[in-house]
Amino acid sequence: MIPADLGLPERAGILVDTNLLVLLIVGAVNPDRIATFKRTSAYTKADYNLLSRCLANFKPIYTVAHVLAEVSDLIDLPGPERREARRVLKETISLLREPFIPSARAAEDQVYAALGLVDAAIGTVARAHDCYVLTDDLELYHRLAHDNVSVINFTHLRERAWEL
């Protein structure tokens, strides 16, 4: 669906924020679980499908260790689905590009004081690799947009999908 449908300029990939990576993992494990799992209940199967289609248009897909640590903690599905979620996360990690960003360097980013370490690491990597950031975190979206980082609000994509 993007970048062509949104008319976005070419960038060197995309970095996906924590909540959307959690949606991606949970949806891959069991799309029916999305609506009932505490971490993804704000999303739908259609959101998962939209996210999957969106990410198929970007190479590479970036992440940072800070995001992956959060995702690992947040995919605490019950029972056997937890093992499957960890397997899917491990497989997904092997497909992602993960630039090394020391926490001390991320803490120097202008985003750190307002939004914390994870968001600062996201901003630092996005600037360094001139990539998009895909997030549904409104504060992060506004801050990165204010700082001239190419950022896409997933809520805007959801609204656009309704129009199509």
Class of domain 4-159: alpha beta
CA distance 53 to 148: 25
Q: Is the pLDDT of residue 163 over 70?
A: no
What is the mean predicted confidence (pLDDT) over 139-150?
96
Closest listed residue to residue 25, CA positions, set 98, 79, 77: 77
pLDDT number for residue 1: 41
DSSP state of 8: P
Check residue 3 and give its pLDDT.
Answer: 46
User: 142 by DSSP, 3-state: which?
Assistant: helix
Domain ranges for the chain: 4-159
